[in-house]
Chain A
């Protein structure tokens, strides 16, 4: 069963294509992260899902209903990027309003504020909130009721590291209760172990999809080896590893996964020249750069 189904979804703004034939299914309880460079089409895709924009091609279905329909609206929660609630209202007033719009008891506002860590600030005007506090008002309104589908556009911007952790814990809880979650993010490192699936958009097209492990396997990125020479042995070391790049007093060496052992043997053999070495796996940022960069190259 799928709660969200996109087929060949396409959106153009004038001549520019903001989303190009994207197909995607999300099941209840699934957490999906949407990655992509600025202008890749993440927000556009979310607005199409919410019925705020009308597609130029393809379809969106939310539990079988068209986006923007009464049923779809009642099933979906949204956190827009950069929502700035009216500065003259207090956090509590804002949430009471949103609760009433969803036909819920406005007395639930305090519990929601508590949940996002705004328990003490609920009576103050939003104009006096910090950036992170304003973001939490947005999060709180997205938690109203029991949404079956949550669409969160860069939900963790402005949150400190502890709040981010709390936020993802909250998502886990919601996903366990069956909510499907689609969120976009630029912070790759925080997505590890937080999402079931990653979808990468680049130049308005979907270029990769899968678990983090899937993506890593497909990417075949090299490891990076840092070598530090013993005093006075810099030139000799550079000769021993001619393929390495010099950076300051260190050498940097790219090492394909399958050559790991060979490189280690070479290092051990020249221990007279080497003071220290470091071996690092590719980071998520490297992985991401490769996935979207490869696609950029092809598009260019």
Chain B
């Protein structure tokens, strides 16, 4: 079984490499990280070290980019193969549907992790360049950002696989993942903010809102990173919320999402008749 999963992952990684997903993902992350670091370097009025300051702004970058990259890499996984006619062939091999999905997930997760590492390494280099040895104090926050980004990526990769199974056609899957990204990353937060404003400190703000934040993997990612580093995130507009929620809640959400999303992808895949 590991041999078949690894072989599938190897093939998939090669495809990502040749389709330039690895290069494009890493370039996107590096570029945005450098721009953010340059912009954030001057505005560090806080006592924190330069790396921690940069990590705080990287969090609000990653919350948009990591899901986007993950969805763009994954939407073709099942629909593309079904269209090419290789899915029906793969499924006549001694390879289970779970193994096929797992192989693809592994390879695509490697691509996401490479992109994230490239971006964060560039930002760290900027921080050490600007702040010297002081920046070392922020390494813990950077490490936390890295592994939580991997979890966030894994969750959205599997969500992309689920969309790929539902759509059956690659073009339809592309539309679905863009819609999913807009809803989960952009509209969700906007909706919450609007509700909080309208509620004006009522029951929604105190009871529902914290859970609503924790339930969305992107918000959980943001909460966890900000709470753990005790930084203030001016960009997110959700400032203050981070302090009122116990840190285990977003962490549990971050750990559960990749598993639940993978299960969802597997269930959707079971309904695909090649």
List residues of A whose CB falls within 8 A of some B CB: 47, 50-53, 70, 73-74, 76, 78, 80-86, 88-89, 93-94, 97-98, 100-103, 138, 141
Contacts and interface: CB of A to CB of B under 8 A. Distances in A.
B274 interface: yes
B3 A100 contact: yes
B85 A80 contact: yes
Interface string B69-92: 000000000000000111011011
Contact of A73 (B18, B85, B86, B94): B94
Contact of B7 (A73, A74, A85, A101): A101
Contacts of A88: 14-15, 18-19
Contacts of A97: 7-8, 10-11
B4 interface: yes
B143 to A, nearest CB: 34
A103 B99 CA distance: 14
Contacts, number: 70
B15 A83 contact: no
B12 to A, nearest CB: 9
Contacts of A80: 85-86, 88-89
Contact of B85 (A53, A84, A93): A84
Contacts of A86: 11, 15, 84, 86
> Which 5 residue pairs are nearest across A and B when measured between Cβ atoms?
A100-B7, A88-B18, A84-B84, A78-B92, A101-B93
A89 B15 contact: yes
A43 to B, nearest CB: 10
Contacts of B260: none
B92 A93 contact: no
Contact of A102 (B85, B94, B274): B94
A76 B7 CA distance: 20
A89 B8 CA distance: 13
A52 B88 CA distance: 7
B138 to A, nearest CB: 39
Given A50-B88, A102-B93, 6 more contacts: A51-B92, A73-B93, A78-B89, A83-B86, A86-B86, A88-B14
Interface string B81-120: 0001110110111110000000000000000000000000
Contacts of A53: 273
A89 B7 CA distance: 13
Contacts of B95: 101
Give the residue among A53, A74, A88 with the most B Cβ atoms within 10 A: A88
A84 B86 contact: yes
Interface in B250-274: 273-274
A94 B3 CA distance: 15
Contact of B11 (A50, A70, A83, A89): A89
A138 B88 CA distance: 13
B18 A85 contact: no
Contact of A85 (B4, B8, B10, B84): B84
A103 B18 CA distance: 26
B93 to A, nearest CB: 5
A78 B274 CA distance: 14
Nearest to B90: A101
21 contacts: A50-B88, A51-B92, A52-B91, A52-B274, A73-B94, A74-B94, A78-B89, A80-B85, A80-B89, A81-B85, A83-B89, A84-B85, A88-B15, A88-B19, A89-B11, A93-B14, A97-B10, A97-B11, A101-B4, A102-B94, A141-B89
Give the residue among A52, A73, A78, A101 with the most B Cβ atoms within 10 A: A101
A141 B85 CA distance: 14
A140 to B, nearest CB: 12
A222 B231 CA distance: 92
Contacts of A50: 88, 92
A52 B84 contact: no
A214 B261 CA distance: 58
Given A73-B92, A97-B10, A101-B94, A82 B4 contact: no
Contacts of A93: 11, 14
A47 B7 CA distance: 25
Interface string B28-39: 000000000000
Contacts of B11: 86, 89, 93-94, 97
Contacts of B273: 52-53
A243 B20 CA distance: 71
Nearest to B274: A52
B92 A76 contact: yes
